Amino acid sequence: MVTIKVDVYGGRLPVPMRIEIDNRNNPKIEPFEKGQSFTKQLNLSKGVRTINFTLKNPLDGYTVITISGISANGNEFEMKKKIEGNEIRTAIFKLTL
């Protein structure tokens, strides 16, 4: 189980954030979009996964993305990125489940 938590500060996103989850050995999971803060739990199969977030922050705002779960070796993990700026930004996380 992997948990994606996105906290948007400074208002709503001006355009929906796009989230894409990819697995090297399996087909891509359908991308989805969100326009505000959210938490989502996903059952992802074992393997190397890449999660891409493409977003544009609110004016004078920022976004914090946290991904947590259990890695392939059974250890808990948490990765966090703070995305600042008003241009379109991409945050990439690589997971080994």
Q: pLDDT of 45-56, one tens digit each?
A: 888 889 999 999
Q: Is residue 25 pLDDT above 80, yes or no?
A: no
Query: 11, 42, 15: which is closest to 29 by C-alpha?
Result: 42
Two structure tokens written together for 1: 């189980």
Higher pLDDT, 23 or 35: 35
pTM: 0.92
